[in-house]
Amino acid sequence: MNVTKICCIGAGYVGGPTMAVIALKCPHITVTVVDINKQRIDKWNHADLDQLPIYEPGLKEVVAKARGRNLFFSTNVEKAIEESQMIFVAVNTPTKTYGEGKGFASDLTFVEKCARQIAEVATSNKIVIEKSTLPVRTAEKIKEVLSSNTKGVKFEVLSNPEFLAEGTAIQDLFKSDRVLIGGDETESGKVAVAALVSIYSNWIPKEKILTTNVWSSELSKLASNAMLAQRISSINSLSALCEETGANIEEVSKVIGMDSRIGPKFLKASVGFGGSCFQKDILNLVYLCKYYGLEEVSDYWFQVVKINDYQKNRFAKKIIQGLNGTVNQKKITLLGWAFKKDTNDTRESAAIYVANQLLEEGAELHIYDPMVNEEKIHQDITLLGESKNNSITEIQNKLKRCIVHKDHMEATHESYAIAILTEWDEFINYPWDLIISRMMRPSKIYDGRNIIKKDNHLANIVEGIGN
């Protein structure tokens, strides 16, 4: 099958960068990214590439080369569906906030809407590709919806989960550890898989393109994220023990990581993991295990999430206790709001939860992040407040005590304490002696990412995680 036109429904963190790279590497294929959010599409089409809706190193360079050549962004979803041979579905699948599976299961509302729209619009055979992270056997449900098409159109549904780390997504796409494609083991299923393989093989070595059945592909994505998150929670649990015993978590991590069976990756103690995938995918896994009656397995994976919540809570308590048990009316500086460096994504960021806990205690927060603006920070505080059933008055009061700065020196001036919540490289090289001299006495820096070297003169000022 010769694929010449593809589209992607969803212009977010997955769809945008993935399609941009496919367009760059496959100039013979017309790639259209569609989204009903006109504001987002306008930003993708903006002449100033610094206005792209996503900050990702290397992304604007890729978009600059491909946009207008064979990469297009549009709000005309129906036209893109009709004209494309292959349709990627990369829409949001948040954790359910209602009904059966509330707080655990993935909300497939947007996925189902996409499937219904494809079924309604399509007049020719299509390959539909799950790009969003989805629970096992979702493809079966998508097929049921697509089969409602009464025009005689045939659909093949593939699973092609993303394995991108925000901040390195473009490099992850250029040099993937693996590309996973799951499809039916029928003749038509094999043809569809081969068509998708032919796209990725334009730049990915064939030995790194793995093909499985659909169910294995869907579960592999959840399992990969769960295993990575498990490592973070494991090392964070040990960091708490280190603080009680006098051991140093960085020394312990180094020793553990030198074991070839374990390796050093994801053994960095911190204030906790965030992002759009880890917690959502683990909770989904927890729900699936419960659904199939695997209570012990469900409990095991839920503990990964509990430890992560514990770590954020423990860090906030450390700040409060370090300031004589009260932060009421005290200026506290938060450096970093994004869930990790080199991204402007704040979903499930540890900073949001630490901030909320400090605000509950009456703190006045002064916040600086090089890539996250005031509007987004206030939105995050508001949404968390709403989820905790805070009144409008309570939320407004919190927002009044959240001052967002464009300059780190201004944010830290006369602060009682500084909390580092994102591992931005620029934080490492700040003039810490000068910053400390302008703080209230006694000065405290709570390094939630263990990025500041505790030289002799900083030894009594900087408190990291597990050391």
| Whether 339 contacts 350, CB under 8 Å | yes
Q: Cα–Cα–Cα angle for 199, 205, 208, nearest 5°?
A: 95
The letter for the amino acid at 131 is K
CA distance 405 to 268: 28
- Residue appearing with tokens 């159109």: 153
- Please state, in angstroms and rounded to a whole number, the distance separating the CA atoms of residues 226 and 229: 5
Instruction: Burial-class residue 425 by CB neighbours within 10 Å (0-12, 13-18, 19+).
Output: exposed
Catalytic residue among 7, 242, 277, 402: 277
Nearest to 194 by CA among 156, 143, 141, 222: 156
Give the DSSP letter of residue 206.
Answer: G
Torsion on CA atoms 182, 185, 188, 189, rounded to nearest 10: -10
- Token pair, residue 179, equals 């590309």
Instruction: Reply yes or no on whether 277 is catalytic.
Output: yes
* Helix extents (H) in 361-417: 374-387, 392-400, 408-412
| Phi-psi map region of 329: left, alpha, beta (phi>0 left; psi -120 to 50 alpha) | left
Task: Name which of 181, 185, 176, 172 is nearest 217 in CA terms.
Answer: 181
Q: How far apart are CA 284 and CA 291, in angstroms?
A: 10
**Contact (Cβ atoms closer than 8 angstroms) between residue 430 and residue 446:** no
Q: Which of 70, 67, 64, 63 is nearest to 28 (CA)?
A: 70
- 155 neighbors 146 (Cβ within 8 angstroms): yes
Residue 31 — left, alpha, or beta (φ > 0 → left; ψ -120 to 50 → alpha)? Answer: beta
381: nearest Cα among 430, 421, 346: 346
Q: What would the two tokens of residue 465 be?
A: 């995680």
Which residue in this structure is represented by tokens 């397995």?
A: 297
Query: Active-site positions?
Result: 277
